[in-house]
Amino acid sequence: VKNSCGYFAKDGMDLIDLFIGQEGTLSIITGIEMGLVKKPAQILSLFVFFKEEENAWAFSDKVKGSPGRGVLSVEYFDRNAVGLLKRKSPNIPPDSAAAIFLEQDSSGMSEGDAVAWWESVIPKFNTSLDATWVAMNEKNARSFTELRYAIPESVNEIIRRSGFHKFSTDIAVPADKFQEMLNFYSNSFKTSSLDHVIFGHIGENHLNVNILHKSRD
């Protein structure tokens, strides 16, 4: 349980939930045992761009609801995050309002077999294969990862230029509450004048919301 507002507590709780996030106020770590997962021999990376944010949400639901595909990560970028991406890569489709970046363990598959399922699924979400990037080699895959990490770097740069403290949320919720959280964010920003950027681990129902305030008020 992620919690930065105080200690998490409830009846019958697992004590590990109390110690997670307590940041040294209840204990210190003196030793750790780690289990490492072997890196897949082959990883397929894709960037899929959408004309509507809702299409990206629905696509991520499809991916999360398709176990056995070897999907390793699913990342989401809202309209404003895509706007920041466009500054880094002019080749992004101009009508893009959202994007999904994902990685799949494609070990043991040919490139054609790995891509085939995505070719059949992606067009069902009001986008096209022309609006999809596939990393065809390790160099492309690295450039995709660098583009993904350009978002928090760009947000931090905007915050530094503004001279204000960063104001953001970092929330993970249960799967059955995720759409409710998305709707809350979307509707709240529609009725406010706050600039914002939403991105993060949509595959784990975990998003980062950054508010880019322009004045102290």
Mean pLDDT score of the chain, rounded to an integer? Answer: 89
Q: How do residues 161-180 score in pLDDT, each as one tens digit?
A: 888 887 888 888 889 999 99
Report how far residue 76's alpha carbon sits from residue 181's, in angstroms, rounded to the nearest whole number.
14
Enter the pTM of the model.
0.84
133 pLDDT band, cuts 50/70/90, is: very high
Cα–chain center distance at 10: 29
Residue 23 has pLDDT above 80, yes or no: no
Question: Is there a contact between 197 and 210 (Cβ–Cβ < 8 Å)?
Answer: yes
Residue 136 has pLDDT above 80, yes or no: no
Q: Decide which of 22 and 53 is more confident.
A: 53
114 pLDDT band, cuts 50/70/90, is: confident
Report how far residue 84's alpha carbon sits from residue 156's, in angstroms, rounded to the nearest whole number.
12
100 pLDDT band, cuts 50/70/90, is: very high
Contacts 24+ apart (CB under 8 A), 37-41: 40/70, 40/72, 40/105, 40/106, 40/107, 41/107
The per-residue pLDDT for 118 is 93
Strand partners, 71: 104
